[in-house]
Each structure stands twice: as structure tokens, then as C-alpha cells.
Structure 1
């Protein structure tokens, strides 16, 4: 990960079921190249929400994308065949991509779940991001692997998971989206002051879409200003980079780009 503050811009490849594939491929290419030119990190999801989508390596090959050093972050979960997992990692290595976000992931009955033996972890019953991190570092020690941190999970349980992820080799965490100061993120920063934390800011005005994650009743008309919240989070956590999901490329992106260039 870059030591300089930066923005991680979430990118979601087209789904296999897309009815407008050519249009979505063109849009992905335009946005990827824009993110690279801006100096941000293209943070590319892996079958988000358990829905089959094209992989990063497929997008790079099909669109002839050229990743810039440390400006691409691949999300990688445990719902792959062993063959696909190794291909993803080999392809990333060949294209100079070092940054991986290891996730347990959201699967479906259409996806193969990596078995413990496939990740060389016969002592566990079910594979998680911990086994994935260990496997990556064993076979690809030059990668920089991070993990997720969910401030809405039970506190003791989430910090126990965090300790295992760090012990496995995680070099940073990316949080779930938060609004305002968060007690668990505060504890994370307090107990691990030198550990890089990327704080997610929800860039859609539809905050109610996070109701299930936050376990709150959020009405659809709840007033929420993403740009104001981004400023707020940056003032609360000035040492953290930001992960931006559902960013508006016409209105929000130019403002964020201008602000970044003025730092």
C-alpha cells in the first residue's frame, strides 16, 4: 500500500448475467483509466454479494488495461476453485499488482468454496480469510495482503478475528462504511496505533441501504450528504485513507480529485 494518503475507489466488474455487457465494459475501462490517472487506487471487487461477475484478470486482459504500481487492489475471497485462485494470484504477480484484500466472502451454491486442504490448512473445518492470507504469503511473499474490519459485529468477536488476521500476516484493514465517530474504529486505532486503517465512506445518498449492515432502522428519506460525511470522517480520522463505494463520477469525483491534488 502507498504510504501517502489516498482514496480507494470501489470498482465492480460486470456480472456474467449483464444485458449491457459492451456498455459496462467500456464504462469500466474509462473509470479504471481515470482512477489510475488521478493517482487513486482502483479497488476491484470479487463476486460482490455472491453474484458471479468477471474477475480482475479477465478485465485486464479483455480491455488491455495497464495497472500502475500500487494503484490496483484486488479483492479475493474463498469462493473459487483452487485453479482459479492460483491463476488470479499468478496473473496479479505478472502484472505488477501487489495489493490483495483477503476476504472470507459471500458465496452461493454456484460457487466452489475452497476446502481446508486446498489452502493447506487441514486443521480447520471451514476456510476463512485467515487461511487465505497464510496461503498467499506462503506462496507469494511479495504481496501486500489486507483484511476487512466490521465495526458492527460483536466487539470481542471482531477483535479476536482481527488478532488472527494480523497474526496471519495482514498488513492493513479496510472497514465497513461508518458514519461519524465509531467506538470500535476508535479502539482499533488506539490498540494498533501504527497499523494502517482505511475507513470506508458511503458515497450514495441512500443511507437506508446500509440499514441491515448497521442494524439500524434508517428511513428511505433520511437526509445524508456523502461529501459532508467524507469531510467529517477525514477530520475525525486524519491519519486514515478512505475507501469510497458508489461514488458519483459526474459530481463527486471531480471535487474529490481536486481536493486530493491540493494536499
Structure 2
């Protein structure tokens, strides 16, 4: 019963204080308000009036400059192949099955530069192994040249402008050619052939800065200080058999230069 009487007594006192005008409850011990003012809450970071802070701009990279540095650092063909495989700025790499670097014999007098791997090349990891590659082998054999010729003086070394297959065998885009050009130029320097043969428009665009293979073929020019002969790509000859006559004339011109 004491607890009940205490309750009604406390309630009567509370109602009496309210009638007197009390608005805040008091505690058993006094509160030092000055001490509370000294402890100030940590302010929240101010939000800019114009909205959230701007997102930092993405750092732009120059794939051509990166390729140039990587190619220059390569001191041999194995190092160049490793540098090209490590290059992450060409989107073709993500869709290709294999990296296609070269075929034939290092130290050969003739270096053939094609365009890009096709389906069969992508599968095999070697350039010119499909129908066009088989035609190329027959063309070379007609003037006693071969990838695996017993005589190094009659061997050939083969590569492409692009080491990865473009989707649906499309032509490489100018930006793709530009970023892989430093590797190609370094490839020619390290392979050090006597003659460079450019087969098709893409290598002519990359190394000569010109296209129009029907006008360029058969006319000797120079690439990186080396004699250079543009020729029809074997794939073009498969589509246009009548052009084999001009291709034969170019092969004879190549053989004559080798015998000089």
C-alpha cells in the first residue's frame, strides 16, 4: 500500500508544480550547463550548395606512346612478343583466341607483312595458314622461297600489322593500326631483313601512309631504310584470279632483287 500512496503523493506534487508554471523536469543533482557548452559536437562536412563534389576526371592514356615505350624497350624478338602480349590497350585482344606473332625463319632475307589474322590464323596462332596462306606458299615456291627453306638465303619471315584477329575479319581501324605501328616498326628493325614485302592495303597504310594497292603494287619503295615491294594479298587473288598475272610479275621482280 505504501507504493500506491507514494504514487498518488508524487503525482499530486507534479500537478502542483505544473499549476505553478513549471515546464521542465528537474533531476536529483544539478547539471553544469557551462561544462555541456564546452563539449561541442563534431560538425558535419558542409555539402556544396551546387550539389555533391565533382567526380575526378578519368586519367587519359596515350596508347601509341605506351606502345612506343614498350617496343623501344624490347631488345630481341622474344622480348618484343612478350611486350605485345602484355599490351592491354587494343580491344582486339579481348575477342581473339590467340596471339599471332610470326612464322618462318628469323634472319631470312625477305620479311612479309600481312594485314591481320583470319579465322584459321587465330586458331593456329600463326600468320597465313588458311587458304590465303596456302596460296602464298605456292607463290613463294614458284621462285624457290619458303618459310622453312633449307637455305636461310631463300627463307622468308612472316608477320602481320595486327597480332589479333578483328571481329568478322573486318579491316583494322586507323586507331588500331596507329597503336600497333610502333611494335611493327620495331619488329622490322629486330628481324633486320634485306627486303620488306607489304601484302595488301593495311600494311601499306601503316608503313607507307598510303592505300590503293592496285596503284602501289609492283613499285619499289623504302620502309625504315629497307627496299620495300607492295603486292596483292593472296586473299585478294583468291577473289580476283585475273590479278595473278600482276602478282607473278611482282614475284619475278622480288626474285631479281634477291639475285642482285
- TM-score normalised to the size of structure 2? 0.29
Q: Which has the larger radius of gyration?
A: 2
Q: Which structure shows the higher strand fraction?
A: 1
- TM-score normalised to the size of structure 1? 0.29
Q: Which structure shows the higher helix fraction?
A: 2
